[in-house]
Structure 1
């Protein structure tokens, strides 16, 4: 066997093609060296999971409101019945599906790293959360209300990240999409499902869906740079907590300047990521 043929054969065994790049096989990385364990999920079945998840939240919320008469989030009772119960049920459903598929580890641990500068994404989120929370409004509500709202928004974060950055990302990867397409389509689906808010919010749900798609991309990058689904889930919940504290919990709503910080987060991160878009993947990918 000549040297050229020997190199070809060695390359066939010792290298792996990931997202169009030829990489050295790393046997310590399960995502790159071996097929992932667990069941597989088709696109129609993933769509069914998303529909059931949304149905539990929307129909459960409507049921709780009809039974309790809670039409807003101004009291601990209304948050508990209108958010905790339906969102908690949706969260149990999500992780029940994950457990059934045998995907708990790949959902909670991501084996596709990014360059370290991408940490700016969760850092900017943390800054926006810290300075965007309406602390005075929360203080007026009392400790019990704050704790219940915090739990409810964490249910949102862990549930939606489990469905879209957990199950959704893995489904797209299983179907052979490159990471760029995984990021794109998981974010588009995430935004599109929020169009269901049009049932109660009308056409205002359209710009909201666009913003949510952007947020989905930021949470996807947070998942990858943190190598798991925990940081993005916690930040997602805290981000919603921040928005609610500044816009929805006051009986006589007035403009809260801190609300601008979460809004400014989108264009700031979008500009950074457009400039640095070609240096998100690890250097071994980018230079191949």
Structure 2
């Protein structure tokens, strides 16, 4: 297996598919088992309070984020994870632009105003932990390991997105068969985040947008007791079919001219 691109020879370790799977499982275990343990210790089982967000999100997600970048540093993959040397055509910037517009329009500003600035700041940090952690694992380590195994960029996009969606099937433990359509939607989101990584030439913008996307969704559904449905929450969801149609039409114009797909 070749070493990851964008790194100097001799400075990186190799990673097999089974070991990548182990890393993903450990990452999920830190979040799920750590979250359950902290919920038991704290007595907090929702995100209605700052304390609930700290124990339910900040602590387990922070530990998972530290694990993710600890693994990346150990592998010597900081450069290939944080920098992407596979550009796209400029029009692909439409993907992050649409995300930013949908996020800005989809945030429930009224609900956040009721919570106060400390709560909002803590929730913002927590959701950034989600974004940087998941993007570090799936678009960072995942994309790098697939490229190191010699897959074409089309297959890198496909399999990194499929794995991202598949791990969300673990939600079936608490949500039953409803986890299946969620996994499919998450796979599609994974492809969008992959394109944001490519067009921005790094793993930062997709991480930030991922976190803000989750922040927008939570602001409209999960921060107030008996919270009524906020119509703006539909806007981040509607971007999926909009972007899917755009990318279906323009799918052959993503790679630069002459690039191997």
**TM-score bin, normalised by smaller chain:** over 0.9
> In the TM superposition, what are the counterparts of 1:94-105 in structure 2 within 5 Å?
94-105=68-79
- The 8 Å contact of residues 7 and 80 in structure 2, kept in 1 or not, is answered as no
- Could you state the TM-score of these two structures normalised by the residue count of structure 2? 0.96
Whole-Å Cα distance in 1 between the matches of residues 10 and 184 of structure 2?
A: 32
Q: 1:111 to 1:35 in 2, by over 3 A?
A: farther
Structure with the greater relative contact order (CA < 8 A, sep ≥ 6): 1 or 2? 2
What is the 5 A alignment of 1:174-193? 174-193=148-167
Q: CA deviation at 1:202?
A: 1.9
Which structure 1 residue ranges, 5 or more long, are not aligned? 1-29
Q: Separation in 1 of the partners of 2:134 and 2:6?
A: 26
Match for residue 135 of structure 2? Answer: 161
Report which of the two structures shows the higher radius of gyration computed on alpha carbons.
1
Q: Deviations over 1:134-155 (max 9, x none)?
A: 0000010111110110000000
Q: Aligned to 1:210, what secondary structure does the other structure show?
A: helix
Counterpart secondary structure, 2:151:
coil
Given the alignment of the two structures, is residue 68 of structure 1 paired with residue 42 of structure 2, yes or no? yes
2:219 corresponds to which residue? 245
Say if 1:151 and 1:199 are closer, same or farther in 2 by CA, change over 3 A. Answer: same
The residue that corresponds to 1:255 in the other structure is 229
Answer yes or no: is 1:82 the counterpart of 2:56. Answer: yes
Aligned residues of 1:31 and 1:112 also touching (Cα < 8 A): no
Query: How much has 1:31 moved relative to structure 2?
Result: 3.9
Aligned to 2:240: 266
Q: Are 1:279 and 2:261 matched, yes or no?
A: no
Q: Mean alpha-carbon deviation: is it higher for 241-250 or for 95-104?
A: 241-250
Aligned length: 258
Tell me how far apart the structure 1 counterparts of residues 85 and 157 of structure 2 sit (CA, whole Å): 15
Task: Give CA-to-partner distance per residue, 1:68-104, whole Å, 9 cap, x none.
Answer: 1111110000000110000000000000000000000
Deviates more, 1:57-66 or 1:199-208: 199-208
Displaced runs of 4+ in structure 1, greater than 3 A? 30-37
CA distance, structure 2, for counterparts of residue 198 and residue 48 of structure 1: 20
Cα deviation for residue 207 of structure 1 reads 1.1
1:56 to 9, 26, 30: 30
Q: CA deviation at 1:177?
A: 0.5
**TM-score (normalised: structure 1):** 0.87
CA separation of 1:34/1:79 partners in 2, compared to 1, >3 Å: closer, same or farther?
closer
Give the structure 2 partner of residue 140 of structure 1: 114
In 1, the alpha carbon distance for the partners of 2:5 and 2:225 equals 50
Question: What is the aligned partner in structure 1 of residue 205 from structure 2?
Answer: 231
C-alpha separation in 2, matches of 1:151 and 1:32: 30
| 1:285, distance to aligned residue in structure 2 (A) | 2.0
